[in-house]
Amino acid sequence: MTVSVTFNEEKVAEQAAETAARLVSEGVPEALAKGDPTLWGPEAQAEATVRLGWLNLPRTSGELLPEIGKLVERARAQGLDHVVLAGMGGSSLAPEVITATADVPLTVLDTTDPGQVRRALEDRLDRTILVVASKSGGTVETDSHRRIYEKAFRDAGIDPAERIVVVTDPGSPLEQTALESGYPVILADPNVGGRYSALSAFGLVPSALAGADVEKLLDDAAAVQPLLAQTEGNPGLDLGAALGAAAVSGRDKLVLEDSLSEINGLPDWIEQLVAESTGKQGKGILPIVGAEPGEAPDELIVGIDSDGALAVGGPLGAQFLVWEYATAIVGRILGIDPFDQPNVAESKKNTAKLLARPELPVGAPILVDGPVEVYGELPGSEVPKDLSDVFTRLLEAIPSRGYLAIMAYLDREAAFDAPYAEGASFEEMTDAWSAADPATLRAQLTLRTERPITFGWGPRFLHSTGQYHKGGPQNGVFLQITGAVDEDVEVPGKPYTLGRLQLAQALGDQGALARRGRPTVRLHLTDRAAGVARLLAVAREV
Ligand SMILES: O=P(O)(O)OC[C@H]1O[C@H](O)[C@H](O)[C@@H](O)[C@@H]1O
């Protein structure tokens, strides 16, 4: 079984066919399948030369299987059945989908929220194996997680070398640390970028440790690979041509719908791939994940094994490869380099600068509403009357082809702590969770605008849609949510705590967005649970 791309809208089909025919006449499908680095122009060539290894992963990653098998055996023999993965963006999004689809548990740490990290630390540390995954080996969140876990293991009388496994690129500082500390290292293919690394060691090692069948994943990808050199019946070409042509014609908001799919969570992975690959030079496609499809004229609904203007069906391993190929095709159509992420570093630099200061420059709130402080500047010079006015003015500020991005630097799992009555039905439980979940704010605000609203957890989204926010079309309006920290977590060997890092990340990104003149407001919850409740009550009211 390979991947099928089905067109359910005539216009989309026509535009895709036209674009695909042009690409075929230029020899693009075969050239891409062969790994030709010249396809994105002279400026992208150097990067593309060392970024096309993903095309061969279905075959080359097979070589890793015996080594991975030994790691899995060792972990089983030690009784380590709680697999924690520390990795940002491309170093954790694929394992998250792979394990969710295989229905095997994996704890993903792609947060700097002290509460969420503490939650993981307090969960079965005696049976925990930690995979530290970073291609560059220099990502601050992942480095912090490694330090925190090393200390926690030592404090519990456990030798970290028995519990930590590293996945990184050859020659990275993390490889060096691992060698010095005696951690097993699985080296990944350095000719593959983070968001294209699903079928590399980054996707396979944590997933296999968690119990997923990674050989099957590679087999499914290998089955679709030969089709990618074809000029007809090439799902990567069809999908790429459809997405690219739609974007050029103005439908550049990609609504991903997967309600009927047996694959669990692929849109989150696609979000990073598409947003970070295409959102640059003022161009790009904005993925919308987890929202009800709207009716905005610039939206294109793509269904994963589900309905949409376009439906993409097939097994996970094959979908990974096809979406990667399609994204490279979109890069060619839009005239951008699909392998770099030029604007991600800006927020990181701002954050590093802020952390070097004795105090973080939070400024003074422009409004305080119970447990919610409002920081930043709203469009127009007037001070907002109340929280409701903040929401109204943010929604009004969205330009005709724009979007609102909600970015919550909070504990993604806190809503599950919401109390519910004893003997509550599942529906009552989900109601309680949803009433405590900051993501509910998106659903509420969606009722008040025709424009798309995205929702991302910070700092996770910084490694994904964060590139698009800063590098893509400048029509975003930004709403950050941060929260007070009750119990912080030290980062051993560093002068900052996780709480401070988390806030500095929000402020660093705010700086990068504000520098572009984009409306950016930060809502700070001085009491997190009460603050979320207040936001939802006000948003519901209006
Ligand atoms: O694997 P790492 O080097 O730690 O990088 C993790 C992530 O961080 C960066 O911000 C990039 O923008 C992402 O594409 C990447 O996946």
Q: What is the pLDDT of residues 388-441, one digit of tens each?
A: 999 999 999 999 999 999 999 999 999 999 999 999 999 999 999 999 999 999
**135 band by pLDDT with thresholds 50, 70 and 90:** very high
Q: Is 279 in the pocket of ligand 1 (CB under 6 A)?
A: no
> Structure tokens of 195?
């968001």
Residue 189 in domain: yes
* 464 close to 91: Cβ distance less than 8 angstroms: no
- What is the pLDDT confidence band of residue 542, given thresholds at 50, 70 and 90? low
Dig out the tokens for 131 from the structure. 């995979």
Total structural domains in the chain?
3
Of 163, 107, 92, the residue nearest 130 (C-alpha): 163
In the reported structure, the alpha carbon of residue 347 is separated from the centroid of ligand 1 by a whole-number distance in angstroms of 13
- Residue of 54, 93, 139, 465 to mutate, ligand 1, most atoms within 8 A of C-beta: 139
Other Cβ atoms less than 10 A from the Cβ of 486: the count is 10
**Which tokens in the block code for residue 472?**
């893509």
Condensed to tens digits (0 to 9), the pLDDT of residues 261-285 reads: 999 999 999 999 999 999 999 999 9
344 within ligand 1 shell (Cβ under 6 A): yes
- Which atom of ligand 1 lies at the shortest distance from residue 202's CA? 1
**Which of 261, 316, 238 minimizes the C-alpha distance to 6?**
238
**One domain, residues 391 and 289:** no
Domain with 324 in it: what CATH number?
3.40.50.10490
424 and 491 part of one domain: yes
Residues 125 and 193 in one domain: yes
pLDDT over threshold 90, residue 178: yes
Distance between Cα 269 and ligand 1 center (Å): 13
Pair (290, 429) in one structural domain: no
266 and 133 in a common domain = no
Residue nearest to atom 9 of ligand 1 (CA): 463
Q: Is 144 in the pocket of ligand 1 (CB under 6 A)?
A: no
Please report whether residue 375 resides in a domain: yes
Q: Tokens representing 18?
A: 């036209």
Look at residue 121 in the predicted model and tell me its pLDDT: 98
- Alpha carbons 327 and 321: distance in angstroms, whole number: 10
* pLDDT tens digit sequence for 337-350: 999 999 999 999 99
Query: Could you tell me the sign of the dihedral formed by the alpha carbons of 420, 422, 426, 428, in that order?
Result: negative
Alpha carbons 89 and 87: distance in angstroms, whole number: 7
Domain that holds residue 361: 344-541
Residue from 51, 135, 175 to probe ligand 1 pocket by mutation (most atoms less than 8 Å from CB): 135
- For position 223, what pLDDT does the model report? 98
Q: Which of 286, 310, 334 is where one domain is finished? A: 334
Tokens of 138: 């220099």
Rounded mean pLDDT, 13-26: 98
The amino acid that residue 411 corresponds to is D
Shared domain for 361 and 510, answered yes or no, is yes
Q: Please report the pLDDT score of residue 292 as a whole number.
A: 85
- What percentage of the chain carries pLDDT values higher than 90? 97
Nearest by Cα to 251 from 291, 302, 292, 289: 302
Whether 339 is in a domain gets the answer no
Indicate whether 46 belongs to any domain. Answer: no
What 3 state SS string does 331-352 have? HHHHCCCCCCCCCHHHHHHHHH
Note the ipTM here.
0.99
Same domain for 328 and 355, yes or no, is: no
CA of 81 to the centre of ligand 1 (A): 27
The overall average pLDDT reported for the chain is 97
The CB of 139 under 6 Å from ligand 1? The reply is yes
Does 356 lie in the same domain as 316? Answer: no
Any atom of ligand 1 within 6 Å of the Cβ of 91? yes
Query: What is the per-residue pLDDT across 511-541, written as a single tens digit (0 to 9) for each?
Result: 999 999 999 999 999 999 999 999 999 999 7
pLDDT at 455: 98
Q: Round to whole Å and give the CA distance between 498 and 487.
A: 10
Whether 47 has a pLDDT exceeding 90, the answer reads: yes
Residue 92 Cα to ligand 1 midpoint, Å, equals 10
Q: Are 2 and 317 in contact (CB under 8 A)?
A: no
How much distance in Å is there from the Cα of 462 to the middle of ligand 1?
A: 9
Residue that terminates a domain, selected from 301, 334, 367: 334
Is pLDDT at 33 greater than 80 in this prediction? yes
Q: Are residues 74 and 181 in the same domain?
A: yes
Choosing from 280, 300, 334, the residue where a domain stops is 334
Q: Is 341 in the pocket of ligand 1 (CB under 6 A)?
A: yes
pLDDT-derived band of residue 293, with 50, 70 and 90 as boundaries? confident
Calpha distance 360→491 (Å, rounded): 17
Q: Which residue has the tokens 């990502």?
A: 139
Is the alpha carbon torsion for 517, 518, 519, 520 positive or negative?
negative
Residues 528, 382 share a domain: yes
CA 154 to centroid of ligand 1, rounded, Å: 28
Q: Please tell me whether residues 150 and 92 are part of one structural domain.
A: yes
Residues 447 and 398 grouped into a single domain: yes
Residue 67 has pLDDT above 70, yes or no: yes
